[in-house]
Amino acid sequence: MKTIKSILAIIGSSLLTASCGDFLQADLKGQYTSESFFISAGNAIAATTGVYNSLYGSTLWIFGDVASDDAVKGGNAGDQADINGINDFSAKADNGVLNSYWQNTYETVARANNVIAYVPGIQMDQTLRKRLVAEAKFLRAYAYFNLINIFGEIPLKLAPQNTSETIYVGLSDISTIYTQIEKDLREAGPDLPVSYDSDHGRVTKGAALGLLAKVALYQKKYNECLNIIQTLEDLGKYALEDNYEDLFKVGAEDSREVIFGIRYVDNDQVSLGNHLNVWFAPSIEGGYYFDAPTQVYVDAFTEKTVDGNDDPRLDVSIGRDGKPWFNNTVFSASWSEATGYLVKKYNEDMIPGKAKAQSVIPYHAIRYADILLMKAEALNETNKTQAAVTEVNKVRSRVQLSHLALASQSVLREIIRNERRKELGFEFHRFFDLMRWGREVAEAALAPNLKWTEPRFYFPIPQSEIDTNHAIQ
């Protein structure tokens, strides 16, 4: 079978529209309906690939980075002004960033719902059919996991949007949504392969376990998280990459460390490239220099390696004045008006004849280092501090930091949190970590702008949804 990259490269826009769930009573002219489209194995594969395609162009970085203490908006002061509302927590329901993320992520949900509803009725290979539905369940779970951690209570839509009952859905509480996420992931796991011979980039059993472990951790179900991670590790599939820098180069999507991520297509369709390097690159490379790292982030790297060098994760993650950049250039603080720093992950050497947005540097949503640090956190919170130290040292050893000795639970808790910050910097985790660690931690990092409201801060549901979905009014 083709890889997900090659399928994305040939899939048509009308085909993607056909799988998005906006089917009303009238027949759509010149396009497929659900009934006429979901009739073959080829169309089932294309529809499932369309769910992946909806992940392209995600602005999760605005919430994971800019809403945290690791970055500010950056860019030209007047450009993308609505990001400021995320940056300082002043965003109202009419904020364009909130609306865009909401619509794009519910598009993922809608496409996944179509696959889950219609693919089981197609006469095709049973194993493939089950796998495609499992992929869609994972992607729906991933979408809802991000939505509830940004907005809190949201509509839980689980069916194609072709009736008023499925279009207009009220708010569900967070525990109900987490229960559905867990259900999707547990149902998906058995029908997903550990790896693929040719369909590289699609969801695996490890991805379902990795996200399920994260869902458990976010709910402080520490023993459950540890059990899930043990099952993931028993697959024998994942390990740390030898060189941290190699995780953020072309081809890194095939790393043994990557559990789930987004791949991009190397062809002339700019829309299928990684646009993060346009958002984050300096203007001299045609970029918009957003997501500017803060001095506070840089200051987190106080520890030297055993050889007395800077922690290599710092200069892999960001550009600093006088340090190597790309194309044999040296980074200049003048490239970032906001802070003097820019994100280096997702950037690469300029390729002659190609647009900046045609990058194929992958985005890693879940990688094994994240799993190890989740495991360390869960062990520490269940009073298994020595075992937790062992897991943290695995991550530290990769970047030549000295091994930690046994520490108290409270001291190790702070060490683990700082290791997450350094290891996973600008991979869009920081804000969500701060939120789940609680008010004291979040306010210390984000004061004075954060307006904490129990159980935690959430951004407002977009006004466009309030205006059109009468079930939540």
| Of the listed ranges 58-67, 232-241, 262-271, 307-316, the one predicted with least confidence | 262-271
**How many Å apart are CA 251 and CA 263, to the nearest integer?**
10
What was the pLDDT predicted at 12?
Answer: 35
Alpha helices per DSSP H over 302-459: 312-317, 368-381, 385-398, 409-423, 430-436, 439-446
Dihedral over Cα of 285, 291, 294, 298: its sign: negative
Kind plus residue range of the DSSP H or E element containing 84: helix 82-87
pLDDT grade for 317, boundaries at 50, 70 and 90:
very high
| Of the listed ranges 202-206, 268-272, 356-360, 430-434, the one predicted with least confidence | 268-272
Using alpha carbons, select from 265, 284, 278, 248 the residue that is nearest to residue 356.
278
Q: Which residues of 217-239 are buried (b: 16+ CB within 10 A; e: fewer)?
A: bbeebbebbbebbeebbeeeebe
What was the pLDDT predicted at 119?
Answer: 97
454: how many CB neighbours lie within 10 A of its CB?
6
When pLDDT is averaged across residues 446-465 and rounded to a whole number, the result is: 95
When pLDDT is averaged across residues 438-449 and rounded to a whole number, the result is: 96
Answer whether residue 443 shows pLDDT above 70. Answer: yes
Answer whether residue 69 shows pLDDT above 80. Answer: yes
103 within some domain:
yes
Answer whether residue 260 shows pLDDT above 70. Answer: yes
**What domain range is 85 assigned to?**
1-126+439-473
Indicate the number of domains in the chain: 1
What was the pLDDT predicted at 371?
Answer: 98
What was the pLDDT predicted at 19?
Answer: 31
When pLDDT is averaged across residues 294-311 and rounded to a whole number, the result is: 97
Note the pLDDT tens digit of each residue in 47-62. Answer: 999 999 999 888 999 9
29 within some domain:
yes
What was the pLDDT predicted at 56?
Answer: 87
When pLDDT is averaged across residues 159-167 and rounded to a whole number, the result is: 92
What was the pLDDT predicted at 27?
Answer: 42
**How many Å apart are CA 120 and CA 423, to the nearest integer?**
41
When pLDDT is averaged across residues 155-173 and rounded to a whole number, the result is: 95
What was the pLDDT predicted at 30?
Answer: 46
Contact criterion met (CB below 8 Å) for 148 and 173:
no
When pLDDT is averaged across residues 290-295 and rounded to a whole number, the result is: 98
83 within some domain:
yes
289 within some domain:
no
pLDDT grade for 34, boundaries at 50, 70 and 90:
low
What was the pLDDT predicted at 24?
Answer: 30
74 within some domain:
yes
When pLDDT is averaged across residues 267-273 and rounded to a whole number, the result is: 73
Answer whether residue 32 shows pLDDT above 90. Answer: no
Kind plus residue range of the DSSP H or E element containing 366: strand 363-367
